[in-house]
Structure 1
Amino acid sequence: MILAERMSHLGTETAFEVLAKANALAAQGRSIINLGIGQPDFPTPENVVEAGRKALADGHHGYTPANGIPQLRGAVAADIHRRYGHEVDPDLIVCVPGGKVTMAFAMLIFGEPGAEILYPDPGFPIYRSMIEFSGAKAVPIKLHESAGFAFSADEVLGQINERTRLIILNSPANPTGGVVPRSEIDALVAGLEKHPDVAIMSDEIYSCMTYEGLDHVTLLDYPSIRDRLIVLDGWSKTYAMTGWRLGWGLWPSKLAPLAAKLAVNTHSCVNAATQYAGIEALEGPQDAVASMVEAFDRRRSFIVQRLNQLPGVSCVTPLGAFYAFPNISGTGLSSGALQNRLLEEAGVAAIAGTSFGILGEGYLRFSYANSLENIEEAMDRIGAWLTDNA
């Protein structure tokens, strides 16, 4: 068989590989604590589950509109207004099976040989993977540990040239937990006014997970870029619905029909019953969300304190999402080596920083979407291993 050359550019998500290896070790009887996978350890709220059950019982078993049922798109628009005060047209919302689909569509719309797309590094690995799959050149935006893993607006603006088609932003961020301050976003948007042909995709999937009194800064707050802004969000993280596969993209008027056309060509539509569950998640009680974020906040404080007590490790305090991204360069081991040895010898799964880009060397990602008891035991194991292997 002769494969398309573009398949050689398609990457993967290492977290799933580490998960498989951790599960295999656990199946052998090993005690494994998984701080690698990035999904809430809470169940989907029962009212949401019941809405999905009811939809199935009510006969919602068939195809739906490619961009999502009107009720769901209306619920998303209402939620955007409730949270941010912005009016949006429900017809510009395209509901898709998970957040990755919106980013993949954006790359396919803008990416081609000769084009450049800027993406955060360290960042979600699918950004670079899909950029390169599209044929475009992936240009990393450096995130600075000294700035809480935020970008420099001046540096980003300095990377734009006549080949730049799209800039990807992610705050709160995976894998760092970093939150970009409004001042940097203000400066970036002001500079982008000189580059009217460059589109922006803002990945805001962790928008409900900020700490220390910070409000989420949505790119919807900037009218000057609304006609070229794609906003990505969804249900997976906020409502512990990773397996339901439901996300949304808010598209500019010129792009929404293209995103809907891609939906027709790839997945036809989102699972019908899941869409009704999504409506209930947005319109029903939000108590479960608040409780989950409060639990993450307690774990965040604990894991950062413990990481900073480990020999050769330092960790800035993440202000969003549910990840810590400690600097492990003081251990003398590469990110990949430490990832593998902690799993195989200490029974703790974490993800090498290099899984998130070339600038991730010297870091590990820990997900604190796990119990305090497990996090404490994991830190004890890592501390003992580092002491024994210093």
Structure 2
Amino acid sequence: MSDNRGIAYKGPGKVEVVDLEFPDFELHDGPGVNPANVGRQLPHAAILKVVTTNICGSDQHMVRGRTTAPEGLILGHEITGEVIEVGPGVEFIQKGDLCSVPFNISCGRCVNCKERKTEICLNVNPDRPGSAYGYVDMGGWVGGQAEYVVVPYADWNLLRFPDRDQAMEKILDLTMLSDIFPTGYHGAVSAGVGPGSTVYIAGAGPVGLAAAVGAQLLGASAVIVGDMNADRLSQAASFGCETIDVSSEDPGQGLARILGHERGVDCGVDAVGFEARGHGHGAAEAPATVLNTLMDITKAGGALGIPGLYVTGDPGGIDEAAKEGSLSLRLGLGWAKSLSFTMGQCPVMKYHRALMAAILADKVQIAQAVQATVISLDDAPAAYAKFDAGAARKYVIDPHGVTGKAQALA
């Protein structure tokens, strides 16, 4: 048996559990690794035994064949794990620490990191600013949907949980700190959500639900979630959100019904991204729909938070423009209404410590909100298929069975 196993992308619609090399303190050649990163030495890294690692909608974009991800890429950027070995350059992180891993890989040394813009670190990806584990065009860092993974710049990147026993009791909440909870929260923050705000969140997948939880934490008076998936809308309603089924109701009409006026919302969040569909029953893909709708229904002077993923290369785009990430946006409307836009990766380290404290203090139950469902590594391919079919769940892989919560998938 191999010393390590992980989930590999094997072409559109296909993932497999494969044998992997055990991680060490060097970045080796492999699928998606930038040649300039091959042989990169990692004395500042830690090797983690993965405790939980989650399936993300961003992973699903790749698995659908909607990016330029190479076959063989090891997936997974949402990682929580136990440190089992540290490199000679690691000073503070120790063997046995239980830690959350921000999905952004950052060095802590460049000007962007020093300005808390860890999502666009300048030193970890030769392709462009910003990097992540197991993701296309992100430098080639091996993904964490595996039994073991290496984390560079460990003293900087790892968020150590203060009490191991307490952390394991709340592990399904804490596993969301690596990405979707900070990402959803960032969407709400960048949309300007505050006490008394009204906010419309497009998309009731895990990030949209996390944005809704974030908006509630920030004091929103009305959190309204739109989607076409009845199960996901029901999940949003289960923790106090208003909902709009955009397959049967126009978002603007739905907002008027809920709010009692046609002035629109204070804040808008796009938790859908580039695979958006139009509104109405059986609507086809129309990637600019969500952004144009948000510009229409957000009040003048408002803001849009855009944590939904947009890519520069989409082989499955509906036209040549969409294949390179060019969309038909109503920028004139946005300009006329003086709207603000914030997009890009979430700078996880800006938020994760405070959100960890909220979880540990029982101020939020993010796992319940997104229906966290624990599975084994071997069941990950089946979970990808269920998630792609619209399951209203957040699948959490437990590669070593340490949580004792894994469910067999039918």
What interval of TM-score do these two structures reach, taking the shorter chain for normalisation?
0.3 to 0.5
Greater RCO (Cα-Cα under 8 Å, separation 6 or more): 1
Taking structure 2 as the reference length, the TM-score comes to 0.35
Taking structure 1 as the reference length, the TM-score comes to 0.36
- Which structure shows the higher strand fraction? 2
